[in-house]
Amino acid sequence: MKKLVLIPALLTASLAFATEYNYEITPQIGYNIAEGNIELDDYGIIGGEFQYNGFDSVIKPEVSILYSKADYSVGSADTSVTRIALNGVYEFDKVGFFTPLAKAGLGYETMGDAYTAQTGNTDSAFLDAGIGAKVPFNDMFALKLEAVYMMKYNDARYDSNLAILAGLTIAFGEKAQKVAPVAAAAAVVVLDGDNDGVVDADDKCPTSAAGANVDTTGCLIVLDGDNDGVADADDKCPTSAKDANVDATGCVIVLDADKDGITDAKDICPNTPLGEAVNSDGCPDKIILKVQFENDSFDVTPASHDMIQKYADFLSANTNYSAKIVGHTDSRGSAAYNQKLSAKRAAAVEAMIIEKGVDAKQLSTSGAGEADPIADNATSEGRAENRRIEAELTRN
């Protein structure tokens, strides 16, 4: 969609000022409607109000002074009436061309003639409340209209007066000046095709969804709280360790290369044949070492030395294991001869393992002869499998 951005272009040096003032003074005239029981005729009023606008408050303090010359409704006596009051003024938002206001406060009234002692209309405090409005001519002058109700208590009775007032409010004492340049607006068309808040000229991902959470280049911000490379929205394991090896759901991939049920991280025998029973370290109880010997001898062929080295390294690294080296033969020859040959072959392998640094206390040997074949002795292949060394592991 297209958006219009208004760029102010100053066309003139003229300035329009909107100014606020700290002080207001209002000379007033009006008319007082007196309640009958105070025995005064209705009378005219002159006075003034002073309002302070400098406080940072919606209620503005005001001092009001009103003076009247009044006649009593009986006889020919008259009296002066002077009132001074302290009010709080609240001005409402402007309505059309005028600003409504309300006020309330506390004052004191003095009567200036001795006849007041006979009527009971003596000096006393009063409460007042009023409403009104300001009709501005400009920012300094305004017509002010008010109706103020005043109630006092004296001579064991309540007396009230209603004052209708009009005055000219004069504002002075500049408070602040807000300068608004008189300008024309030049419309510049800025394109944001995907409505993501980044203009097309800067948008490197111009097809983001409207309202998407994007960075300053317009590309989607993908949250990944655990830094495992899977966005939080798709992460079923949101507390994975940073840079952990996880799958598409954010969960840690548990590796078990030899599928023996022990994870690679814990498996000290990581190449166990599939299906072989293992302990909690991933090691079987018995390992077949395919050690080759010279014909009718207990001399180990050079081709078997690497296998023996690896087994020795395992025992050196895992001293909590001991091994029983068991020799086996095929069925050719007498059983007694095969028994002795298998024992010698087991002892030869043990000696080689000890030479490679394994503690002799971890090792023992025995010869099984031809008694425990694992293949058919009728074939050359079967006999080759039966000529073997088994290492029985025991975890101490």
Per-residue confidence (pLDDT) for residue 189, from 0 to 100:
67
pLDDT at 5: 39
Residue 118: predicted pLDDT: 60
Residue type, 99: T
Q: Which has the closest alpha carbon to 68: 34, 119, 18?
A: 34
User: Could you report the per-residue pLDDT of 31-49, keeping only the tens digit for each?
Assistant: 999 876 567 788 899 999 9
Q: Edge to edge, what strands does the sheet with 389-395 contain?
A: 286-289, 389-395, 321-328, 363-369
The whole-number pLDDT of residue 98 equals 94
pLDDT on residue 269: 81
- DSSP calls for 33-78: EE-GGG-B--EEEEEEEEEE--SSSSEEEEEEEEEEEEEBSSSS-E
Identify the three-state secondary structure at position 258.
coil
Residue 275, pLDDT score: 64
**pTM higher than 0.85:** no
| Enclosing H/E stretch for 104 | strand 99-111
What domains does the chain contain, in order, with CATH numbers? Answer: 13-178 (2.40.160.20), 286-395 (3.30.1330.60)
Q: Quick one: pLDDT at residue 2?
A: 42
Dist. CA 66–CA 64, nearest whole Å: 7
Q: Which residues pair with 45 in a beta bridge?
A: 30
Mean pLDDT, consecutive 10-residue segments, the chain of 396 residues?
39 41 95 77 92 92 93 74 95 93 94 65 88 94 95 80 94 70 55 82 82 78 78 82 79 75 76 70 77 79 88 90 91 92 92 93 93 92 88 85
pLDDT in the model for residue 242 = 76
